Amino acid sequence: MNKKILISFVGVASALIGLSASIPVSAAEANSPVVGKTELEASNSSKTPVTDVNKTDNSSNKTATETPKSTEKPNGNANAIALMGKTVRLTRNSYVYDKHGKRVKNKKLKKGLIVGISSFTTVNGKSLIGFNNKENQFIKPANVKILKAVRYRVKRNAFVYNAKGVRDSRYYVKKGKKVVVFSTKKVKGIKLVGISEKQFIKWADLDPKSAEVLAE
C-alpha cells in the first residue's frame, strides 16, 4: 500500500505593541527665613506695616481638578485586528456566524481546533473574525487564543500518530521537510509533538537546532 506524504505548513505573523507610561512629578514648597529687625526698623514698625512672610497664599495650594475618567468602552475591533494573520486555538466550542451576525445553522467549531485568522467584520458594534479563508463564516474573538508555534526540520522519515499514540500507517512526514509544532504530550513515556489538531509525530524525529519561533 502506497504511503501518503504529509507536509504541514503554517504561516504565522507576529505583531508588537508599544506601551507608554507617564510618571507624576511632585513639587515641594520652599519657605524663606525671617530676617531680624534693626532698632530703626523696630521704631518705624508702628508706621509701616510689616508683611508676615509666614503666611501662605492659599490660592497657590489649590489642587488642579482631576481629569474625569473616560467612560468610553475600548474599541472592539482592536482585539480582532490583533488576531489577523495569527494561528489560534479555540478555547471553547464556538458557534459560527455569517456576515450579518446571524448564527449558521448546524455549524459549530469544537474546542481545541486550530485555525488561521484571515479576516474580521463588525456587526452592530460587535467584532467577529473570519478563519481559514472561509467565505461568510465568522467566530467570536473571545473564543480563541493565539497559539505558540515553532517550526522544525524533520531529520528522518517520521511516522504519524493520533492523540492516543496509535500509529497511522497511511501517513508519514518525509525527511528534510519542515513542520510547525503546536503542542507536546507524552504517551507511554514517548514525547509526541502536535503538527495539527489530531496528528502527532515523535519529538525524536525532529532536529532541535532547526527551531524557528513563529508565534507566542
Residue 216 pLDDT grade (very low, low, confident, very high; cuts 50, 70, 90): low
Residue 18 pLDDT grade (very low, low, confident, very high; cuts 50, 70, 90): very low
- 3-class SS at 141? helix
- Total Cβ atoms within 10 A of residue 6: 19
Output DSSP code: residue 195: S
Least confident of 55-64, 122-131, 167-176, 204-213: 55-64
Mean pLDDT confidence for 54-62: 48
Q: Is it the case that residue 139 has pLDDT exceeding 60?
A: yes
In terms of DSSP H, where are the helices of 66-189? 77-83
Question: Phi and psi at residue 202, in whole multiples of 5°?
Answer: -75, 140
Tell me the average pLDDT of the chain. 74
Model confidence pLDDT, tens digit, residues 142-165: 999 888 788 999 999 999 999 999
Q: Is it the case that residue 48 has pLDDT exceeding 80?
A: no
- 3-class SS at 182? coil
Model pLDDT, residue 99? 92
Model confidence pLDDT, tens digit, residues 160-200: 999 999 999 999 999 999 998 988 899 999 999 999 878 99
Cβ-based burial of 118 (10 A; exposed 0-12, middle 13-18, buried ≥19): middle
Q: Is it the case that residue 67 has pLDDT exceeding 60?
A: no
Model pLDDT, residue 138? 96
For the chain, give the percent of residues with pLDDT over 70.
64
Residue 20 pLDDT grade (very low, low, confident, very high; cuts 50, 70, 90): very low
